[in-house]
Amino acid sequence: MTTQSDSPQTGYARIQRYVKTLDSSPGVYRMLDADSRVLYVGKARNLKARVSNYTRPGHSGRIEKMIAATASMMFLTTRTETEALLLEQNLIKQLKPKYNVLLRDDKSFPNILVAKDHAFPQIKKHRGAKKEKGAYFGPFASAGAVNRTLNQLQKAFLLRNCSDSMFDSRTRPCLLYQINRCSGPCVGLISEEDYRESVRDAERFLSGRSTKVQEDLAEQMMVASEAMEFERAAGLRDRIRALTQVQTSQGINPRGVAEADVIGLYMDSGQACVQVFFIRANQNWGNKDFYPRIGPDVSPAEVMEAFLGQFYDNKEPPRQLILSDGIENADLMQDALSEKAGRRVEILVPQRGEKQELVAGALRNARESLARRMSESATQAKLLRGVAEAFDLDSPPGRIEVYDNSHIQGTNAVGGMIVAGPEGFMKNAYRKFNIRGDDLTPGDDFGMMKEVLTRRFTRLQKEDPDRDKGLWPDLLLIDGGAGQVSAVHEIMVEHGIEDIPMVGVAKGIDRDHGKEEFHRIGQRPFALKRNDPVLYFVQRLRDEAHRFAIGTHRAKRAKAVGATPLDEIPGVGAARKRALLAHFGSAKAVSRANLADLKAVEGISAGLAQKVYDFFHDKG
């Protein structure tokens, strides 16, 4: 890696100096400004030739600005151009340069897992690394798409979705058995062989062999009907109906496309929407829209290539990518994705036939989604202008932070921070704070807020001291009145921060929704008209902060309720804790068990049994 930044010179001349030092190797280059912030990351088959392009006039306005701001460059050579492509996309995601097309939403997608570590396999939703033993089917576009499919699969195949510990502790069938969603394997109401046959049918359906499954079920229904086993025949009829409902709800079930992502790109007024349809096993497993950050003069090919590189950086690509727009380096991208997947990945831009119809559908969805988003953005911008006017701000806030606390008589106390901006709620910026203050009086909301804000702004001053990363708020909304605002003001002054406006939102004399009073330091409280859109907007912000804080508190409380002394024993993780509780029934019974009984528990070694025994018997 090389860099050169010993001169304040910027622009064409600065870049020209680098060209003299480069050779024709493939690699990745970074353009940095005078403060060493990365402006752009690019790849090159030939670094010298690629960087030379920046020394000649005739670029778009966006690239001209970037060149003018470039004060230094960094280079990293690679063995192949494919390696350079993968490195480029990884650096773009990591560094988020100003002038690159940037995919902002990068969540993982859920799968359906048929677990294989039990005599009666469980079917469930799974997200994250595929570490559990079993068969994975996906990805699905959303948790909702998985839940809908699981719901119908339960009706069709009667597979359990309960945890192993719950399964082992059952003495009678649960409600799911009563409503014909489970075959009751926990209490022996179905044989292991028959249950495994149901599992095989479910896997065949999820693998695209749904017609064969339905034919088999129809044949079984006819046999049961002829044998006058009408109850069994009715059950099989319901299972066929459930499978049909899965297919109907999917809407698109292409015959000629077994495994592909269909990707449609629509661009308008400097904004873009990418719509991805997940086709697996000849079935549509949902679609998802993305809104990459783009410049005003980027081409569809550039946006599509950037999207593919960043989207599949941490996801396994399917066998086919069916695109609405071609990319400049299709062969290179195909090689990179094939190398990543360990098998051939094909990139297509169809002009006719079923694949083209799929792309047309993705494009239509992209166009409609972008139109809705642009309409919502216009509304949001108008609301932010209204906020600035209502609270006497110099300009519409780009980042509003709203704080709330939640606890029950001081226990399991948490603070929540939600963030909103020009594009609505910024959920990836939400933060939770577990209140740690041992010296706080239970229920001391002022003390809790002080701890939350102290931690928030201490960290902010370390992470973004120059306030140039967009992490600092333009407005603080506090749930409370004059006292709360005064306390927050004192905290901010202690940290030397006195230029961030803050507003307290109190419910007014009658604590009536719609009669909120707004409090600011050194000014009289005031209210907005009941039908003012800004009032509704602030209410939504406060309600979202309350929802987030309450949800975080409940999760913490639930975790505390499930806590036992076993959590404190070194070597006893979640699986061994479950084994001990399933064997003895409770933590108290574990504490009373003798050493021989502890050794008899499956998965508990003699050494660990001794640790557990000593933990409970050395305390006295």
Rounded CA gap, 177 and 191, in Å? 15
Rounded CA gap, 464 and 458, in Å? 10
Sequence-distant (6+) residues with CB within 8 A of 478 are: 402, 403, 449, 484, 485, 488, 502, 503, 504, 505
- For 228, 292, 332, 388, the CA distances from 336, given in Å and listed in that order, are 59, 21, 6, 48
Residue 242, pLDDT above cutoff 80? no
pLDDT digits (tens, 9 = 90+) for 491-542: 888 888 988 999 999 876 555 556 789 999 988 999 998 888 999 999 999 8
Considering 342-356, 431-445, 449-463, the range whose residues carry the highest mean pLDDT is 342-356
Assign 47 a pLDDT band (cuts: 50, 70, 90).
very high
Instruction: Check residue 407 and give its pLDDT.
Output: 58
For residues 72 and 21, is the Cβ–Cβ distance under 8 A?
no
Instruction: Check residue 442 and give its pLDDT.
Output: 57
Residue 219 vs residue 246, higher pLDDT: 219
3-state secondary structure of 132: coil
pLDDT digits (tens, 9 = 90+) for 57-96: 888 888 999 999 999 999 999 999 989 998 998 899 889 9
Instruction: Check residue 26 and give its pLDDT.
Output: 94
Write the DSSP symbol of residue 326.
Answer: -
Q: Are strands 517-519 and 502-506 parallel, antiparallel or unpaired?
A: antiparallel
What are φ and ψ of residue 558, in 5° steps? -65, -40
- 29, 34, 39, 45: CA torsion to nearest 10: -10
Residue 277, classified by CB atoms within 10 Å of its CB into exposed (0-12), middle (13-18) or buried (19+), is buried
| CA of residue 435 relative to chain centroid, distance | 25
Rounded CA gap, 561 and 111, in Å? 29
Assign 248 a pLDDT band (cuts: 50, 70, 90).
low
Assign 351 a pLDDT band (cuts: 50, 70, 90).
very high
Sequence-distant (6+) residues with CB within 8 A of 573 are: none
Structural domains present in the chain: 2-95 (3.40.1440.10), 111-250 (no CATH), 259-371 (3.30.420.10), 400-559 (3.30.420.340), 565-617 (1.10.150.20)
What are φ and ψ of residue 132, in 5° steps? -75, 145
pLDDT digits (tens, 9 = 90+) for 422-449: 988 998 899 988 877 656 555 567 777 8
Share of the chain above pLDDT 70, in %: 89
Instruction: Check residue 282 and give its pLDDT.
Output: 82
Considering 74-78, 146-150, 547-551, the range whose residues carry the highest mean pLDDT is 74-78
Q: What's the 3-state SS for 184-210? A: CHHHCCCCHHHHHHHHHHHHHHHCCCH
For residues 247 and 283, is the Cβ–Cβ distance under 8 A?
yes
Q: Are strands 72-77 and 400-408 parallel, antiparallel or unpaired?
A: unpaired
Rounded CA gap, 587 and 90, in Å? 47
Per the listing, tokens 């996801």 go with: 315
Assign 570 a pLDDT band (cuts: 50, 70, 90).
confident
